[in-house]
Structure formats: C-alpha cells, structure tokens
C-alpha cells in the first residue's frame, strides 16, 4: 500500500460514541481502548503532589538526567544490558517517539514495513509524515507472529528501509521469544533494514519474560512508554533508546518539535520505575480478566479466541456473527452497551471479520460485558 490514506482511529471513534451515550445516562462497558483501569502507584501520586509548590519549567529536550539514568538502570536490572543515559530520550508518550524515530532514522519518503494486523497509528503517522508503507501479513495459524522468512519474502518483493514491530503486539497479544526476535534482527542487519522495536507492552507478559531488542543489538531503535504497564496513559510520557548515529539528530528535532516532555510527568515516571511490585499486582488482575474474557468469548462462539500471551487484548474472529465488524461493534454499543473495536482499525484488508476486546479495565467490567453480549447474541 501507499501512505496517502489517513483513516480514523476507530477505537477512539467508538470511545467518543460511548461517551456520548454515557452523557445520556447509559452505562457502558468499555472494552474498546487499551487503557488500564487501575491508578498509578500511590508513591507516583505523592511525587506529583510534591511538584505543586515547585517551579516546573522545561527540561532538556532529552529529559531529566535523573530519569534517563534510572531508565539506564532499568535496562541493567531487567535485561542485563548497559545503556548510556545519553542514548535515552524522554518523549511525550510513545506517539512522539514514533515521530522522532521516523524523522531521525530515515530519509524523506522512505518505505517502512509494519505487520498487518497492527497498531493503526503506525499507518496514520507514517502517512502524515509522507513515508511509504509495506504491510506484512501475519495470521492466527502461527500465533500472529512475524518471522524472519516473512521479512525476507516481503523485502524481495519490494525493499524497505525500516521495520517496526511490537512484542507484545497490539491487537493480537503475540509475544516473540528471544530466538525469534534474534532471527528477525539478524535478517534486518543482513538486509540493511533499520529495526524499530515497540516495547510499550513490556511487563504485560503472561507466558514468560520480555526480551528487549537491546539484549541482541544496540544498532536499532527501542520505543517504550509508561502508559500501559505503569497505568499512565493520560500522563503522555515515554522514552526512546537510540544508537550513536541517530540520538543527536533526534535531540535537535525534539528541541523544536516538542521542546521537552512534561516536567510533572517526568517526575511521576521517575517514581513509577521503583514501584514494580505494585504494578505486577495490576498485571495479575489483567491475567484473571484475560482468562475470564477468552473463556467467555469461546462460549459465545467467537473464533480464534485462544488466550494471548501478552498485552491486554483479545483479537477474535467475529465471522460467526457478522461480515462487517464495524457495523457489529456500533450495533453492540447501541443495543448492549458494550464498546469494542472493529478489526478494520488494525487490518484494512481482512479486519471486517475481526473484533478486538480489551481486558485492561476492571474484572467487573469484563464480566458485565460478557453477560450483555450473551443477551445481545441471543445465547442467553
């Protein structure tokens, strides 16, 4: 495909519709957006309160040195790798991290590969920046995982300069094992492809441990965020780890594009990194909701509803009920008060058959949504 089409972010479109129904007095079960139902750790909130009486001006474009040093320690503790704090840049969420990565890492109009299905903002950001896109299809038969062979075949058909890949993935929850990620990075190195590792769902893994691309190579780009595992979506705070040849260029761009990330959010993020015990308890709540949701979707008759290994999504085949998941989701919202995201958000070719449900909210929301869907689908 070419990058000349920018489409709505349907998860947010559904959220807007759901909020309008709530304004009319309706009670809605929100399973449409990947937003944690829990709050940040108490010490994070205490750190923010301490900001109120302090001047909170701009930081450097790279972010507070204390936060970058703590992030470097995070990589040593969690992944056993040494990262220079000068190679870390604090960003306004992962969204600005993607923008800086594309602009700093590639020539104008370069072609970037992404998976299909995949996070819809990838295509829209690339289109907004006038990059070209190659979509590489993944499927349920191998757990929605991209392979080195897939990359090689797509590159042979039409070469690309970069590959952006998430593990755990949105919308499928697919998680790459270390050897699988290593094989992907190896083929990228051999073909001269810049690899961008989207690691924003790290910490939300129910089947093993997360592997960072930094464990395998320091020549590529890592994008991460405090939004998901750390329950800080609205705080808009994330980070990049960049190699020698890109970090200065990204810093210069950030100086003019964003100046700096929020000083208050950076203070909160610094506190969050020391609260993993608290957030691991949140993950256990997602793990319980995960089993409840997938079991319920199976009983309702959705296809391909095998429990995902990571993130907090169920990407399921809705073709037993519809061939138009957009209409299906709108009708389910109107009639049952359950908000879910149509697969067209993640796959513009085959997404009409799929629906993504998020179990990031409370267990009570998941249970209530399943009861309503049972009635809506006539299974009750």
Look-up of token digits 């001269």: 192
Task: Name the pLDDT band for 2 (thresholds 50, 70, 90).
Answer: very low
Q: Which structural domains are found in the chain, ordered by start? A: 10-40+277-375 (3.90.1150.10), 42-274 (3.40.640.10)
Distance CA 4, CA 12 (A): 21
Q: Mean pLDDT lowest for which of 1-5, 19-23, 79-83, 190-194? A: 1-5
Residues 6+ apart with CB under 8 A from 20: none
| Strand-pair partners of 90 | 239
pLDDT of residue 380: 54
In terms of Cα–Cα distance, which of 94, 113, 163 is closest to 3?
113
Task: Name the pLDDT band for 6 (thresholds 50, 70, 90).
Answer: confident
Structure tokens that stand for 103 in this block: 């602009």
Task: Name the pLDDT band for 52 (thresholds 50, 70, 90).
Answer: confident
Task: Name the pLDDT band for 46 (thresholds 50, 70, 90).
Answer: very high
Q: Is the pLDDT of residue 3 over 50?
A: no
Tens digits of per-residue pLDDT, 366-377?
Answer: 999 999 999 999
Residues 6+ apart with CB under 8 A from 239: 63, 68, 71, 88, 89, 90, 91, 97, 223, 224, 225
Tens digits of per-residue pLDDT, 201-252?
Answer: 999 999 989 999 999 999 999 999 999 999 999 999 999 999 999 999 999 9
Task: Name the pLDDT band for 121 (thresholds 50, 70, 90).
Answer: very high
In terms of Cα–Cα distance, which of 165, 207, 172, 208 is closest to 187?
165
Look-up of token digits 């691991």: 280
pTM of the model: 0.95
């Amino acid at each position: 495909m070419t990058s000349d089409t920018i489409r709505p972010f349907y998860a947010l479109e559904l959220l807007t519709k759901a909020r309008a129904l709530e304004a009319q007095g309706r009670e809605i079960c929100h399973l449409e957006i990947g937003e944690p139902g829990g709050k940040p750790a108490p010490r994070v909130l205490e750190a923010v309160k301490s900001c109120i009486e302090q001047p909170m001006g701009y930081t450097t474009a790279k972010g507070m040195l204390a936060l970058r040093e703590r992030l470097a320690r995070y990589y040593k503790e969690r992944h056993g790798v040494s990262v220079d704090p000068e190679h870390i840049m604090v960003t306004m969420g992962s969204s600005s991290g993607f923008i800086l990565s594309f602009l700093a890492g590639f020539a104008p109009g370069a072609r970037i590969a992404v998976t299909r299905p995949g996070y819809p903002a990838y295509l829209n950001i690339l289109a907004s920046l006038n990059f070209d896109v190659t979509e590489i299809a993944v499927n349920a038969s191998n757990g929605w995982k991209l392979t080195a062979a897939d990359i090689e075949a797509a590159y042979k058909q039409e070469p690309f300069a970069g590959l952006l890949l998430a593990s755990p993935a949105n919308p499928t929850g697919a998680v790459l094992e270390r050897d699988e990620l290593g094989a992907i990075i190896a083929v990228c190195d051999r073909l001269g492809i810049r690899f961008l590792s989207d690691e924003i769902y790290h910490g939300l893994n129910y089947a093993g441990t997360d592997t960072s691309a930094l464990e395998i190579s320091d020549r590529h780009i890592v994008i991460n965020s405090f939004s998901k595992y750390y329950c800080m979506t609205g705080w808009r705070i994330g980070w990049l780890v960049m190699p020698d040849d890109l970090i200065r260029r990204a810093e210069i761009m950030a100086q003019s594009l964003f100046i700096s990330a929020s000083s208050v959010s950076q203070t909160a993020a610094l506190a969050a990194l020391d609260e993993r015990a608290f957030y691991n308890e949140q993950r256990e709540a997602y793990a319980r909701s995960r089993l409840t949701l997938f079991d319920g979707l199976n009983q309702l008759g959705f296809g391909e509803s095998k429990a995902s290994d990571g993130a907090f999504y169920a990407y399921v085949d809705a073709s037993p009920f519809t061939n138009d998941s957009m209409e299906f989701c709108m009708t389910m919202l109107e009639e049952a008060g359950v908000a879910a995201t149509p697969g067209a958000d993640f796959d513009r070719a085959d997404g009409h058959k799929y629906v993504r449900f998020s179990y990031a909210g409370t267990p009570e929301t998941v249970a209530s949504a399943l009861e309503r869907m049972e009635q809506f689908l006539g299974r009750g």
